[in-house]
Structure 1
Amino acid sequence: MNITIISNHYYPEDSGIGLYSAGMAEFLAQKHTVKVIAATPYYPQWKIYQEYDKKGLFSAEVINGVEIFRFKQFTPEIPTFKGRIFQMIHFFIGSFFNVFKIKKNDIVIVVMPFTISAILGLAVKTFRGGKLWIHVQDFEFDAAFETGISNKKGFLPRVVFRMERFIFNRADFTSTISNGMLNKLETKSNTKKYFFPNWIDHSKINPDLAKPSSLFDISKFNILYSGNIGAKQDWDFFIDFVSACQAIKHVQIYLIGEGAKRKEVVESLKQFQNCKYYPPVRYEELNDVLCNADLHLLFQKNTVIDTVMPSKILGMMASAKPSIVTGNEYSEVRYNLEISEGGFYFHRDKKLQEIMEVLNFLIKNPVQSKIIGNKARKFVIEKYSIESVLSQFQNDIEMV
């Protein structure tokens, strides 16, 4: 088959959507001809990578058997709602020219966000034939409203949601990464739908292969948040947690990542001796970092329900270490943690005291902590291994 993938995020972005789009493309390229239309890499720093900034508006390269056509899109330093809309439009306009570099097509897979990229997919289908598959990694408009980036009332929200529904209903097939998001997709589209979750390469996130990390103090109980420092996380609560942990002298907290909220969060944490910030590590170092932590954190806002299924949770669980997560009562992350018995999920208000009790329990019971972590790893290997997820997806697209 001739497969076209349109994804704003792609390698060398090595976290989130970029990681999964590249993994999907390279897996399919083992059997099919795969070409990708992508943006110039910028995430999570919200700054175009230096090696790509020197290139022109259009560039092409071949990586691991996949040919990639890129356009250097506008990238706002602070990703406001309007800034993101402008970025989407600019990417669309420039990438439209890359559509005509696709000579043959049997199926075009559009990874959302960006929603407007689906129109590029329709263009590929119109000019080169084949079918259109829209895969939703993030309901970007819902997420913007739920996290407070934009007001849900007004002319612009009405327009973008109508556009979103119109686009979904022009696809032949749609898919998304969690059951909750699949339910949301049912309200937005009449097309045939598939469950296509993110996956974990447990051969690369493997505690048996982890080397000691120089970032951590081995004499301490090390608590880690690693990932995007953005609007979907509850940073006020994170700061409250760091403050409460000052009473436990042998606890050290690490914030590793980049994102739109990084400057203000890091500035707020400067008052605390028990928290250190580091920029993102290379993917090759991620295993050492995840597996040497004693505990993982993910504090999500209660308002974010099922617009997003955080991909970082799979890496946290694959590290065979317990996690403490907050969020909405109906989040699928809660379901995964509770059914696996691989961590602790909190959705009520005034939860800090309960979390501190769990933290003290884990510190005092290292054997039980290890059992919880091993249950988490066993769960993600059984449910979300790269081999089973991508093999099933490949079967699905070959059957359509």
Structure 2
Amino acid sequence: MKILIYGLNYAPELTGVGKYTAEMAVLLASRGHEVRVVCAPPYYPEWRVAANYVSWRYRCETRDGVTIWRAPLWVPAHPSGLKRMLHLASFAASSLPLLVRQVLWRPDAAMLIAPTLMCAPAALVFARLASASAWLHIQDFEVDAAFDLGLLKSSRAARVARWIESTLLRRFDTVSSITPQMSSRAVFKGVDPSRVVCLPNWVDASTIFPLTRASDYRRLLGIPADQKVVLYSGNMGAKQGIETLADTAASLAARTDVTFVFCGSGAAKENLLERCAGLANCIFIPLQPVERLNELLNLADIHVLPQRGDAADLVMPSKLTGMFASGRAVVAMARHGTALYDAVSPRGLVVPPDDVKALATAITALASDPERRAALGKAARRYAELALSPESTISTFEARLAALGRGSRSKHATGETPYFGGPRSSAAAARRRKPATTEEAAPD
């Protein structure tokens, strides 16, 4: 099949949505599909366009068998609510010429990755013009997150934004999300349950796995063998509630056998650095290359995953899958009944969000109990191997696409025209598919 993936973030971004979008595209290409991507230059989580990329220029490249078209966007150095909106709007506008260019390619399916929902109107129109199935995959419920987390505050704007969101969601042939709870939220927003699919994030357990030796990072960071490492690795942003870790590190400052390692970047990093200033038990390192990820995750004796209580089931931390696969103990902050709680509680420790004392108690208990750490790590690893396979998620995606194709053909046979994602003529379906090249010109 020919599949267009349309989303803001993509590799070589190392964390978050871009990581999973790129892995999905590469997996689909490896299974014989022809995949193109329309995205922005890499900038996340540093909020700075990566070296060798330019924020204001169109660009086309090929990575791992996938043709990638990059559109300009504005990246604020210090993102606030309004600046984030302008940031997203800049990509929604600049990516339009690339979508227009792909209409003649005539993909079978167009998948929009949210965030950003600002691109939904263009994605729906594109799918209609190209006679493609329109698919929305939600990694974050960005509208709810923006208002529930206080990034935007107007109640009137919230009502309007949620009405627009619901209207757009109902127009897609398929809406998917990454947990059952987030998928149910789509139904709550008005999407017909028959159009909703759960596509969990995954981990390649052959590339992330428990090491039988100490991680090289212990030597590089000068951490003695008898120290218990509490690791946070990933984005440092508003949804993480990462300030809780600073308070927890301060509360455990007298515990000389526990070291906190913070690896990552993001809008909240400067605040975290300030809060940890003067704490001898805290080490900060930048995001590490993807080829070093397994070594990094194996640095942990205890992985820690904070999350704000008001972010429950608006997002699902993408870093969790790697934590499980590394075979190390996990402590997460989550409310009972949320997707994060359900994922971690059978194979890790869960404490209430924003409860520094409970988090410190859990870390202390695990630091003093190597047998329990090992047991939890084995359970987490087993879950990653059995339930978080990338092939399982991609197979679900392919099966749904095939069903959408059959539905379109059935409607065509009866003379019914679908609202979005119409059928193709037999001549169009049989046309030769030209391979993508690395040197196609992008608009200037």
Give 1:282's match in structure 2, choosing from 278, 289, 292.
289
Q: Residues of 1 paired with 2:289 and 2:212: CA distance?
A: 16
Query: Which residue does the alignment assign to 1:314?
Result: 321
Residue ranges of structure 1 left out of the alignment (5+ in a row): none
Q: Is the contact made by 1:242 and 1:253 (CA closer than 8 Å) also made in structure 2? A: yes
Q: Is the contact made by 2:6 and 2:38 (CA closer than 8 Å) also made in structure 1? A: yes
Answer with 323-332 or 37-46: which moved more: 323-332
Query: Which residue does the alignment assign to 2:352?
Result: 347
Q: Counterpart of 1:230 in 2: which secondary structure?
A: coil
* TM superposition score normalised by structure 2: 0.85
Answer with 354-363 or 135-144: which moved more: 354-363
Q: Is the contact made by 1:305 and 1:330 (CA closer than 8 Å) also made in structure 2? A: no
Q: Residues of 2 paired with 1:177 and 1:242: CA distance?
A: 31
Q: Residues of 2 paired with 1:77 and 1:88: CA distance?
A: 14
Query: Which residue does the alignment assign to 1:215?
Result: 221
**Alpha-carbon offset, residue 209 of structure 1:** 7.5
Q: Residues of 2 paired with 1:215 and 1:100: CA distance?
A: 50
Answer with 138-147 or 356-365: which moved more: 356-365
Q: Is the contact made by 2:328 and 2:380 (CA closer than 8 Å) also made in structure 1? A: yes
Write the letter of the residue equivalent to 2:119: S
Q: Which runs of 4+ in 1 moved over 3 A?
A: 208-211, 351-357
**Alpha-carbon offset, residue 387 of structure 1:** 2.0
Query: Which residue does the alignment assign to 1:52?
Result: 53
Q: Counterpart of 2:21 in 1: which secondary structure?
A: helix
Q: Counterpart of 1:100 in 2: which secondary structure?
A: helix
Q: Counterpart of 1:243 in 2: which secondary structure?
A: helix
Give 2:144's match in structure 1, choosing from 138, 142, 145.
142
Query: Which residue does the alignment assign to 2:87?
Result: 87
Answer with 280-289 or 74-83: which moved more: 74-83
**Alpha-carbon offset, residue 152 of structure 1:** 5.1
Q: Is the contact made by 2:112 and 2:123 (CA closer than 8 Å) also made in structure 1? A: yes
Give 1:376's match in structure 2, choosing from 365, 380, 397.
380
Write the letter of the residue equivalent to 1:168: L
Q: Residues of 1 paired with 2:173 and 2:152: CA distance?
A: 31
Write the letter of the residue equivalent to 1:373: G
Query: Which residue does the alignment assign to 2:439?
Result: none
Q: Counterpart of 2:274 in 1: which secondary structure?
A: helix
Q: Is the contact made by 1:105 and 1:124 (CA closer than 8 Å) also made in structure 2? A: no
**Alpha-carbon offset, residue 272 of structure 1:** 0.7
Q: Residues of 2 paired with 1:305 and 1:337: CA distance?
A: 14
Query: Which residue does the alignment assign to 2:100?
Result: 100
Query: Which residue does the alignment assign to 1:124?
Result: 126
**Alpha-carbon offset, residue 34 of structure 1:** 0.8
Query: Which residue does the alignment assign to 1:264?
Result: 271
Q: Residues of 2 paired with 1:118 and 1:16: CA distance?
A: 20
Alignment of 1:131-280 (within 5 A): 131-151=133-153, 153-154=155-156, 156-191=157-192, 192-208=195-211, 211-213=215-217, 214-215=220-221, 217-219=223-225, 220-280=227-287
Q: Residues of 2 paired with 1:278 and 1:287: CA distance?
A: 16
> How many percent of aligned residue pairs carry the same amino acid?
29
* TM superposition score normalised by structure 1: 0.94
Query: Which residue does the alignment assign to 1:398?
Result: 402
- RMSD in angstroms over aligned alpha carbons? 1.7
Q: Residues of 1 paired with 2:132 and 2:243: CA distance?
A: 48
Query: Which residue does the alignment assign to 1:6?
Result: 6
**Alpha-carbon offset, residue 94 of structure 1:** 0.8
**Alpha-carbon offset, residue 189 of structure 1:** 3.0
Q: Counterpart of 1:108 in 2: which secondary structure?
A: strand
Q: Residues of 2 paired with 1:173 and 1:266: CA distance?
A: 42
Q: Residues of 1 paired with 2:358 and 2:57: CA distance?
A: 52
Write the letter of the residue equivalent to 2:159: R
Instruction: Give CA-to-partner distance per residue, 1:206-238, whole Å, 9 cap, x none.
Output: 113875222361331111000111111223321
Q: Is the contact made by 2:3 and 2:109 (CA closer than 8 Å) also made in structure 1? A: yes
Q: Residues of 2 paired with 1:216 and 1:136: CA distance?
A: 41
Q: Residues of 2 paired with 1:218 and 1:50: CA distance?
A: 35
Q: Residues of 1 paired with 2:241 and 2:234: CA distance?
A: 13
Q: Residues of 1 paired with 2:359 and 2:283: CA distance?
A: 20
Q: Is the contact made by 2:74 and 2:87 (CA closer than 8 Å) also made in structure 1? A: yes
Name the CA shift for 1:162/1:354 in 2 (closer, same or farther; >3 Å).
closer
**Alpha-carbon offset, residue 56 of structure 1:** 5.1
Write the letter of the residue equivalent to 1:334: Y
Q: Residues of 2 paired with 1:243 and 1:42: CA distance?
A: 31
Instruction: Give CA-to-partner distance per residue, 1:23-59, whole Å, 9 cap, x none.
Output: 1111111211111110111100011112112x75211
**Alpha-carbon offset, residue 89 of structure 1:** 1.5
Write the letter of the residue equivalent to 2:90: H
Q: Larger Cα Rg: Structure 1 or Structure 2?
A: 2
Q: Is the contact made by 2:241 and 2:306 (CA closer than 8 Å) also made in structure 1? A: yes
Query: Which residue does the alignment assign to 1:304?
Result: 311
Q: Counterpart of 2:311 in 1: which secondary structure?
A: coil
Q: Residues of 2 paired with 1:167 and 1:216: CA distance?
A: 52
Q: Is the contact made by 1:89 and 1:116 (CA closer than 8 Å) also made in structure 2? A: yes
**Alpha-carbon offset, residue 93 of structure 1:** 1.1
Q: Residues of 1 paired with 2:242 and 2:22: CA distance?
A: 30
Q: Counterpart of 1:50 in 2: which secondary structure?
A: coil
Write the letter of the residue equivalent to 2:40: A
Q: Counterpart of 1:123 in 2: which secondary structure?
A: helix
Write the letter of the residue equivalent to 2:348: G
Name the CA shift for 1:216/1:335 in 2 (closer, same or farther; >3 Å).
farther
**Alpha-carbon offset, residue 357 of structure 1:** 3.3
Query: Which residue does the alignment assign to 2:342?
Result: 335
Name the CA shift for 1:100/1:354 in 2 (closer, same or farther; >3 Å).
closer
Q: Counterpart of 2:216 in 1: which secondary structure?
A: coil
Q: Is the contact made by 1:299 and 1:325 (CA closer than 8 Å) also made in structure 2? A: yes
